[in-house]
Amino acid sequence: MINVVLVDDHKVFLQGVESLLSSDPELNVLKKFTDGTDFFRYMKEGEHPDVLLLDIEMKGISGVEVAENVIQLYPEVHVIMLSTYFSEEFVDKLVNTGISGYLLKSTDFEDLIKAIKNVANGKFSCSPEIMDILVKGYKSAGSADKGDSEEDDGPLTERELEMLQLIADEYTTKEIAEKIYISEHTVKTHRKNLMQKLDVKNTAGLVKKGYILGLIE
């Protein structure tokens, strides 16, 4: 049984895909979300899907951002991006990010199901149109430029999550150290690692991203 979660800001699409996928006994739609932040909150507490179907064009947090963070925080989840159009820019950006598939919404239903089963088994899968772009890109750019810095420091540890919550709760480094009986130095180290992992510059960024990614309450 392959568990799937859908994220797309068009409710109609969500319902359509769900009823479609439910026709296949191997597939099970765990949850649907119209908003990246809601999805991240679910990911902190709820059951993780095997495959995430993710719309690229979304209001609020973009699909690209969602993808990048999901892959970092929950690497066991296979992400398939869905898009109405195909943009070389995104394809480039996303493939290096570690997504498992990239389909056009115009893809027919059997191919979608096939793709889901493929990526659940660790393969990569995408629409033929996109495959074209990939092959073309591969030829021309050779081994490609890495563009902007691709940092992925893996998911947060238990301790780091705890820190993040305490920081958001207005505890200072010293107070955290006293509260959980560790040295101030250690807390500062955790703070540093958090900032690096979440790719932010200061406490404000830590709390903001913590919220967006549903890591704090």
Partner DNA sequence: TTGCCACTACCACTTTTGTGGTATATTGTA
Partner DNA sequence: TACAATATACCACAAAAGTGGTAGTGGCAA
Binding site for a copy of itself (CB under 8 A): 167-170, 172, 200-208, 211, 216
Q: Any idea what the Cα angle at residue 103 is, between residues 48 and 67, rounded to 5°?
A: 40
Examine residue 96 and tell whether it contacts DNA (CB under 7 A): no
| Least distance CB 189 / a copy of itself (angstroms) | 18
- Per 3-state DSSP, the chain is made up of helix, strand and coil in percentages (nearest 5) of 50, 15, 35
Examine residue 151 and tell whether it contacts DNA (CB under 7 A): no
Which residue, 130 or 167, has its beta carbon nearer to a copy of itself?
167
Examine residue 179 and tell whether it contacts DNA (CB under 7 A): no
Examine residue 154 and tell whether it contacts DNA (CB under 7 A): yes
Give the integer Cα–Cα distance in Å for 92 and 77: 20
3-class SS of residue 110: helix
CA-based diameter of the chain, in Å?
58
Examine residue 201 and tell whether it contacts DNA (CB under 7 A): yes
| Least distance CB 206 / a copy of itself (angstroms) | 7
Which residue, 101 or 214, has its beta carbon nearer to a copy of itself?
214
| Least distance CB 125 / DNA (angstroms) | 27
Which residue, 12 or 181, has its beta carbon nearer to DNA?
181
Give the integer Cα–Cα distance in Å for 102 and 77: 15
Examine residue 178 and tell whether it contacts DNA (CB under 7 A): no
| Least distance CB 75 / DNA (angstroms) | 11
Nearest partner of 125 among 87, 187, 77, 78, judged by Cα: 78
Alpha-carbon distances of 210 from 113, 131, 163, 216, rounded to whole Å: 33, 35, 11, 6
Task: By CB under 7 A, name the binding residues for DNA.
Answer: 154-155, 157-160, 172-174, 180, 182-186, 188-192, 195, 201-204, 206
